[in-house]
Amino acid sequence: MPILYFRTCAVELCPGYDYGNQSLCCDVQQLLTLQGSLQLPLQFLSRCPACFFNLMNLFCELTCSPHQSMFVNGTQFTNDTAANKTNVVEVQYYIGQTANGEGRGHIAWSPRSDVQAPSSKVKALSLLCGKDASDCNATNWIEYMFNINNGQTPFPIIPIFSDMPVSGMTPMNNKTYGSTEGLDDGCGPCSCQDCSQACGPQPVPPPLVPPWTILGIDAMVVIMWISYVAFLLIFIGAVIRAWCYRTEAYYELTGTLKSEAVFSQMYLMVVCFSSRKRTIESEYGPILDSNNPHCLNNDNIDQVDASCGETLGKRFESALRSLFTRWGSFCVRQPLMLILGNLVVVAVCS
């Protein structure tokens, strides 16, 4: 295949290898196989550019790195006699465990557990780790990605995590990016929706204003009580002052204390009421005793005539008495009809 097509595929999958005429340890077919194997993981991590880059960096170093002999060790091989080639069927991949120089260590990163897969709206790590996102970490995530049983890995890849050289192999510890960091190509960091670490500090609500109190009691309650007591004192004082003023004025005119005059008037009213209560039916009612010279029912023209207001009051009271008497009689005779009517009214109003 043309070299230009190979370089295009290499730059698309592994942008870190876009430098000069550096030779790579892979061909176009290997790049296409890598691209097909990583379609699902890349789709799930598309919302986290840093996670996307770190994942591709992990597989690009395994597939195409010109220094892969330092951290990739073939352990099982098969001979292809027809093509006169030797095929690698199992490898060991030495991966840095913690930060080392510029690198952060591939154990120190993994897709954040809250990154969501765009299509399913579930945690991406749950789909890439073979278990719930809360139980997944960088170690078992990488082990699952390299396991042949996941349906995407073409041959077994055994990850070995270490920061120190092991059996003459130097662990791969390239630079990786945190979810809150942007990439060198201008891609922004992971969004706050998918990476809680990218969220800014939560706004702190302003402190509550201390309550206004007077002697430990709510100030408005104290003010209202003071205003109420002051109003009562002023009102009672004004009433007492007016009473005293009128009493003094009455004494100056009559020579008798007003209190004595009041008691005299009250005595006369009680005597008058006692003499008339046997004949008065109501405030407007007729005087029952027709022999009484002051009876309003007496046809004697010499008697005192009832006023127009008293006559109207008597008729109105009689009409009310008659109306409510009939209504009470109806309620007693027709209780079921009354209850049914009330239920209908309540149902209509509700």
- pLDDT of amino acid 234: 94
For 16-36, b where at least 16 C-beta lie within 10 A, e where not — what string? bbeeeeeebebebeebeebee
pLDDT at 203 over 70: yes
Pick from 48-52, 84-88, 300-304: least confident: 300-304
What DSSP string runs through 265-329? HHHHHHHHHHHHTTTB-SSSPPBS-TTSTT-TT---TTSPPPPHHHHHHHHHHHHHHHHHHHHHH
Q: Enumerate the domain spans of the chain.
A: 3-198, 212-277, 284-337
Longest dimension (CA), the chain: 154
pLDDT at 348 over 90: no
**Tens digit of pLDDT for each residue in 237-253?**
998 888 877 777 656 66
Contact 85, 198 (CB under 8 A): no
20 DSSP assignment: T
Calculate mean pLDDT across residues 273-293.
Answer: 45
Calculate mean pLDDT across residues 36-63.
Answer: 81
pLDDT at 228 over 80: yes
- pLDDT of amino acid 224: 93
- pLDDT of amino acid 92: 92
User: What residue type is assigned to position 228 of the chain?
Assistant: Y
Contact 109, 138 (CB under 8 A): yes
- pLDDT of amino acid 226: 94
- pLDDT of amino acid 7: 66
Calculate mean pLDDT across residues 261-267.
Answer: 54
pLDDT at 227 over 90: yes
- pLDDT of amino acid 18: 62
Which stretches within 106-218 are classed as H helix? 124-129, 138-145
